[in-house]
Amino acid sequence: MTGTPSPSWLRSQRLRSQLLDGRGGSALDVVRRLGAVQAQNATAARWAVGVRATDAGETDVEHLFVAGDVVRSWTMRGTLHIVAAEDLGWMLSLTSARQRSSVAREASLRGITDADFERASELIAADVAENGPRTRAETLAVLERAGIDVGNERGYRLIRDAALRGLVAWGPLRGKQPQLVTVPQEHGIERDEALARFLTRYLAGHGAATVRDFAWWSGLTLTDARRALEVAGHDVEVVGADHWLALPGNLHEEPPTSGKSSTSDIVQATPAWDEYVLGYRDRSPVLDPAFALRVSPTGNGVFLPTIVSSGRVVGTWRQSLEGRRLVAEAEPFTRLTASERRGFDASIDRLARFLGVARV
């Protein structure tokens, strides 16, 4: 292929890479395939896994946290993501310094010094190591007993800094409260190896994409993103002038089987902040710029749940729970076809099963 790939080709490839083409896999397969699942909203992030997994329920996703297979942390761009626990260390080796630097001014405005961060991180890590998973309230209480001021959002920033150092991450829930857990420490991985791994993991779960897409998603500099492409070597291949794919050996998937839906008739109700929309600097192949403010009305990083039809974002949707009953309403950009309406209803039925509730 020469030149720029067509939008329809990009949509087809991205549906496949992102496991939105009906093939599915286990919940853990989904997290590993995407590399990182945007998760500032924990409920939306769990459905981001569920919509891609085969017959998974919300309890299956939560079990990944209980088992220690995945964690939720500030992996890049100052935003929480769900990642495989074994991947967190090498990701933070590339992204944490830049993230910590970006929030240094706001910390100083609240009177937080480097010494405060050091002491708080030591206390947080020691408390979790000694007592096991700890809620935010329990962690803040430990800091307060040590004479550390946690008011004026200082406590949040102290916890985040400990996480950016790779000492702790958010793990399983206790009731409705997430708990901090320790994370595996990976040693001996060189920077170039980590860069190559980051790019190939991104392309496996998001390709085809450009180096600029990767730089935006990862929060790395464009120089580092280009270095990642250089050292990835034969693990990636170029398509057209500037789009890249991970080679099949990096996809960790079974070949597609007969009887699966083609990408031309797939409709998915994807959650808020879904990787299918947010995972790229240039979203125009999947989201018509004319409708961008319908998906992100405030323009400040809030993204609504989307209806994806044949790879295109064709509307948004909203949901509410009335007791144990799910209510969902489509808000399409234009009228949905009868086939799209059936597809949307089928996806919402799947969401109800995922949540373990009935659908109104």
Q: How far apart are CA 356 and CA 353, in angstroms?
A: 5
Q: How far apart are CA 212 and CA 17, in angstroms?
A: 18
CA angle 60, 61, 64 (to 5 degrees): 95
**In Å, how far are 101, 195, 264 from 11, measured between CA atoms?**
36, 26, 10
**In Å, how far are 24, 39, 54 from 256, measured between CA atoms?**
10, 29, 14
Model confidence at 341: pLDDT above 90: yes
The confidence score (pLDDT) of residue 251 equals: 65
The confidence score (pLDDT) of residue 144 equals: 98
Give the pLDDT band (50/70/90) at residue 259.
very low
Model confidence at 255: pLDDT above 70: no
Identify which of 159, 266, 246, 155 has the alpha carbon closest to the alpha carbon of residue 200: 246
Give the pLDDT band (50/70/90) at residue 299.
confident
The confidence score (pLDDT) of residue 258 equals: 36
pTM above 0.85, yes or no: yes
Model confidence at 2: pLDDT above 80: no
Q: Higher-confidence residue: 106 or 82?
A: 82
pLDDT digit string (tens) for 76-100? 999 999 999 999 999 999 999 999 9
Model confidence at 261: pLDDT above 50: no
3-state helix, strand, coil in the chain (%, to 5): 50, 20, 35
Give the pLDDT band (50/70/90) at residue 264.
low
The confidence score (pLDDT) of residue 188 equals: 75
**Residue 93 corresponds to which amino acid?**
S
The pair of three-digit structure tokens given for residue 295, joined into one six-digit string: 């998906």
Model confidence at 256: pLDDT above 50: no
Mean pLDDT of the chain: 93
Report the relative pairing of strands 177-182 and 358-359 from DSSP bridges.
unpaired
Give the pLDDT band (50/70/90) at residue 23.
confident
Q: How far apart are CA 295 and CA 24, in angstroms?
A: 25
Give the pLDDT band (50/70/90) at residue 260.
very low
* Section 30-52 average pLDDT: 96
Model confidence at 185: pLDDT above 90: no
pLDDT digit string (tens) for 113-128? 999 999 999 999 999 9
**In the chain, domain spans:** 263-359
Q: Which residues contact 34 (CB under 8 A, 6 or more apart)?
A: 18, 19, 52, 205, 206, 275
- 97-100 — which CB contacts under 8 Å span 24+ positions? 98/219, 98/220, 98/221, 99/74, 99/164, 99/219, 100/161, 100/164
Q: Is residue 47 classed exposed, middle or buried when 0-12, 13-18 and 19+ CB atoms within 10 A define those classes?
A: buried
What backbone torsions phi and psi does residue 5 show, to the nearest 5 degrees? Answer: -60, 150
Helices (H), the chain: 7-17, 27-34, 42-50, 58-66, 85-102, 104-109, 114-131, 136-145, 154-164, 191-206, 211-218, 222-232, 275-278, 292-295, 338-355
